[in-house]
Amino acid sequence: MSTIDYSEKIPNNVDLANDKTLQRALEHWQPRFLDWWREMGPNDFASVDVYLRTAVGVDAQGWAHYGTVKMPDYRWGIFLADPIADRTIGFGDSLGQPVWQQVPGEFRSQFRRLIVTQGDTEPASVEQQHRLGHTCPSLYDLRNLFQINVEEGRHLWAMVYILHAYFGRDGREEAGELLARHSGDVDKPRILGTFNEPIEDWLSFFCFCYFTDRDGKFQLKSLAESSFDPLARTCRFMLTEEAHHMFVGETGLGRIVRRTLEVMKEAGSDDPEAVRRQGAVDLPLLQRYLNFWFSSSLDLFGSEVSSNAATTFANGIKGRPDEMTQYQDHVCADSTFEIEVPDGKGGVMKDASPMRNAMNEVLRDAYIRDCEIGLKRWNMQIKRAGYKFELKLPSSRFRRAIGAWANVPTDLDGRPIDREELDRLMPGWLPSASDKAFVRSLMQRVVEPGKMAAWIAPPDRGINNLPVDYEYVRLS
């Protein structure tokens, strides 16, 4: 197992000390990263003590150390999962050949584009969440927000390392650009749509962690299959950290549901107005937030049928999540995949696409199944409390901006409807201005250890076996 060298300016397990040119280039990038963090990160909390975990190894057990740090002093570093001996290419046209330790020249631009796109999402989310600290529902949640923020910063480092180490001058330029684009910036926005959506309240934050970070999980899982071994190893370790982000999303939304059910019981009513009067989030409002973030996140997977997806699979650049364990056919040269497309007459028709071209859709399908898990759990809570309400994921055709269903008006079940009907019904399907204003009114900061805002139940347990009322962030 490789250990992480913490005596270096940049903690790493890639033997940076023995590559002076690379080390110098990254040490040059480091202060620019810190400037970006101070400007775009949770800068109002730069001087507070936060109980954070830091990577100290890369094996699954005991990889993290927990301790109190001020965020600007966090040790962002470069950590790759240990290599797998004699690893061979797991999919595509070069199946079975040894994996690559360098980027093959002919695939360079495809790799670069994927790495830059992944890298761009990491700082984007820190920028989106930049002001949330001021309205935290508890110190426990505040700590989780900061943990996610520092780890997204670390993920940026992970991608910047690959760019610097394997893409020469182009890579260094791209690494600079990753700090120059900003979420929601009119002139230089982040690359992907969802990463330019504002996250101004904690309901959006938990939805983002649940739906958008989960897109990240699936992208990382498919890059962890890559034939370019350093990229695969980088992504494998990122997934270890990423699991916590999804945990925050799932438990955050679950705690909101639990609190809402308590309030419904106390009020003896499931009327949204009655729930709101008690300062909690009514379930239909939660549903509208889910509709928004889920449909936005679906676009991140790209078009249903894509020649680009076919080439990246064929060339061994990007596989499917759990390629080895979930699939038998790793070449997919002559199989097909059935997709649903608009029939041009206001209906839906099935179309068979060559499997390789449908890889985005294969990924999206796996993602949707993963998204269902939390909803099942929350619906169980609702049912056990004795209410009929059911939270549902909208159809993957609903409100799409990319792919076969882009700008095709459909209802929540994916049935094509006409444009006027959509305009009439859409306000009931997405968070309205008054929904957002109400949610904003709930966002009062709670910072007494162990106390929770009225709209969210406490977590089942604290972090790293500490009690829920531990002072996870010392503000004074």
Write out the residues near Fe ion by the rule CB under 5 A. 122, 152, 155, 213, 242, 245
Using CA atoms, how far apart are residues 435 and 176, in angstroms rounded to an integer?
39
CB of 186 vs Fe ion, minimal distance in Å:
25
Find the length of the chain: 476
Report residue 425 as tokens: 């019904």
Distance of CA 137 to the CA centre of its chain: 21
CB of 432 vs Fe ion, minimal distance in Å:
28
Q: For residues 250 and 424, is the Cβ–Cβ distance under 8 A?
A: no
CB of 195 vs Fe ion, minimal distance in Å:
11
Using CA atoms, how far apart are residues 425 and 104, in angstroms rounded to an integer?
51
CB of 216 vs Fe ion, minimal distance in Å:
5
CB of 245 vs Fe ion, minimal distance in Å:
4
**Residue type present at position 460:** D
| Residue whose entry in the numeric block shows the structure tokens 């939805």 | 207
**Residue type present at position 147:** Q
β-pair partners for 473 = 50
CA angle centred on 413, ends 410 and 415, rounded to 5°: 40
CB of 213 vs Fe ion, minimal distance in Å:
4
Q: Which residue's CB is nearer to Fe ion, number 123 or number 171?
A: 123
Q: What are phi and psi of 100, to 5 degrees?
A: -95, 140
- Per DSSP, the residues of 274-310 read HHHHTT---HHHHHHHHHHHHHHHHGGG--SS-HHHH
* Plot region of 470 (φ>0 → left; ψ -120 to 50 → alpha; else → beta): beta
Using CA atoms, how far apart are residues 424 and 152, in angstroms rounded to an integer?
39
Q: Which residue's CB is nearer to Fe ion, number 242 or number 250?
A: 242
Map residue 340 onto helix, strand or coil.
strand
CB of 155 vs Fe ion, minimal distance in Å:
4
Element (H, E) at 125: helix 108-128
Q: Which residue's CB is nearer to Fe ion, number 153 or number 272?
A: 153
Q: Which residue's CB is nearer to Fe ion, number 222 or number 303?
A: 222
Q: Which residue's CB is nearer to Fe ion, number 234 or number 353?
A: 234
CB of 161 vs Fe ion, minimal distance in Å:
14
Q: For residues 447 and 472, is the Cβ–Cβ distance under 8 A?
A: no
CB of 122 vs Fe ion, minimal distance in Å:
5
Q: What are phi and psi of 420, to 5 degrees?
A: -65, -40
Q: Which residue's CB is nearer to Fe ion, number 221 or number 245?
A: 245
Q: Which residue's CB is nearer to Fe ion, number 100 or number 157?
A: 157
Q: Which residue's CB is nearer to Fe ion, number 127 or number 213?
A: 213
| Residue whose entry in the numeric block shows the structure tokens 């999303």 | 249
Q: Which residue's CB is nearer to Fe ion, number 152 or number 174?
A: 152
Q: Which residue's CB is nearer to Fe ion, number 51 or number 157?
A: 157
Q: By 3-state DSSP, what share of the chain in percent is helix, strand and coil, each rounded to 5?
A: 55, 10, 40
CB of 278 vs Fe ion, minimal distance in Å:
32
Q: Cα-Cα-Cα-Cα dihedral of 84, 85, 91, 97, to 10°?
A: 150
